[in-house]
Copies of this chain bind each other. A is one copy, B any other.
């Protein structure tokens, strides 16, 4: 009998969230599952880690028949503790995170605890996927995502994920319209336009709630936002190397960071009269 792949599951909504239960159900069809997830909600935690405080890790009863642990830390902490403490010499074949309650498309990848678990796994050299559902409703329905979660997971195990990359998968909200398919995309240049809801506490002291609207400024057809708007599942491969090679060239040519070592413009070669903006 072929050995079942070992799949580590985490999330950021906490171990009792419906999304991780859908994800575990699908993963049990594919492999041997171990769950290490936060013991409570960790949404918006970005790539936070716990360094000024202690961490707890306890066996969890959240899943029948699945080895599972709940952790007091962030999603990134969960993956670190899973690798170094829970799994030790059992190297997972895949790390999956989610299914997040709410979108992690576009710029939300930076704020996302779901994706930080996946990116932490990629840093550790493990293939990883974060799954999110673009639905902020209370009684959220994950059922339409299951076949696509299974398809993408099986392909990741079969074909691999390039090193240094984690996949950011987002699903359109369930609707009467069927899912159009799966598109590999780039991250849209969209952003949250924040507003702060200013209130006064019972003592008359001011406090704020962060709120705002997601606005897509990107007209590209090849973005995750465009795919989701057309009812596709979006897959964005995300790298943890944040270097902008373009900006390295700009700084080396336009700035003068070592004025004593090399006078401004000394190494410039003029080849044509055309100046690029």
Contacts and interface: CB of A to CB of B under 8 A. Distances in A.
Interface of A: 41, 43-52, 54-57, 76-77, 80-81, 83-85, 107, 109-111, 116, 119, 123-124, 151-152, 155, 159, 161-162, 164-165, 181-182, 184-187, 189, 191, 194-196, 198-199, 205-210, 235-248, 250-252, 254-259, 261
B237 A81 contact: no
A119 B191 CA distance: 12
Contact of A46 (B48, B109, B189): B48
Contacts of A255: 155, 159, 184
Chain A contact residues, majority secondary structure = mixed
B210 A116 contact: no
B208 A54 contact: yes
Contacts of A107: 123, 240
B256 A196 contact: no
B55 A186 contact: no
A69 to B, nearest CB: 12
A182 B257 contact: yes
14 contacts: A41-B52, A47-B111, A77-B210, A85-B208, A155-B257, A162-B247, A165-B247, A185-B248, A186-B248, A187-B241, A237-B244, A238-B243, A239-B242, A242-B242
A243 B167 CA distance: 10
Nearest to A102: B51
A161 B199 CA distance: 37
Contacts of A196: 55, 80-81, 84-85
A78 B43 CA distance: 18
A186 B258 CA distance: 18
A185 to B, nearest CB: 8
A44 B116 CA distance: 13
A244 B245 CA distance: 13
Contacts of A164: 189, 244
Most chain-B CB neighbours within 10 Å: which of A46, A51, A155? A46
